[in-house]
């Protein structure tokens, strides 16, 4: 799901497995999701702009995307780690 309200709601439900933050997200949004990810043990990836994240999910600009599918989250993390030379 994408967008602040949707991701916050799913965080409260405990169903978010990965958070993707736009690199141009506001400091407030970045701080909030960094805190929540640390508190809840959820990985965070900072990548792309708000426009790029929105386009990736077929929406207007989005500062945050929450991944709730376990396989999709694992695939994204694997690709990020490979790109960073961590695997």
In sequence order, the 6+-apart residues with CB closer than 8 A to the CB of 16 are 7, 10, 40, 42, 66, 67, 68
Query: Are 17 and 68 within 8 A, CB to CB?
Result: yes
Which string of b and e fits 32-42 if b means at least 16 CB within 10 Å?
bbeebbeeeeb
- Please name every residue paired with 19 in a beta bridge, in sequence order, or none if there are none: 44, 66
pTM: predicted TM-score of the whole model, two decimal places? 0.90
Domains within the chain, CATH numbers bracketed = 4-83 (3.30.1330.30)
> Per-residue pLDDT tens for 46-83?
999 999 999 999 999 999 999 999 999 999 999 998 98
């Amino acid at each position: 799901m994408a967008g602040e309200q949707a991701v916050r709601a799913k965080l409260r439900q405990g169903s978010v497995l990965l958070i993707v933050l736009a690199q141009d997200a506001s400091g407030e949004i970045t701080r909030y999701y960094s805190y929540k990810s640390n508190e809840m043990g959820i990985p965070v990836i900072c990548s792309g702009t708000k426009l790029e994240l929105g386009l990736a999910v077929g929406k207007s600009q989005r500062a945050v995307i929450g991944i709730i599918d376990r396989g999709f989250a694992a695939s994204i993390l694997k690709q990020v780690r490979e790109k960073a030379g961590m695997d």
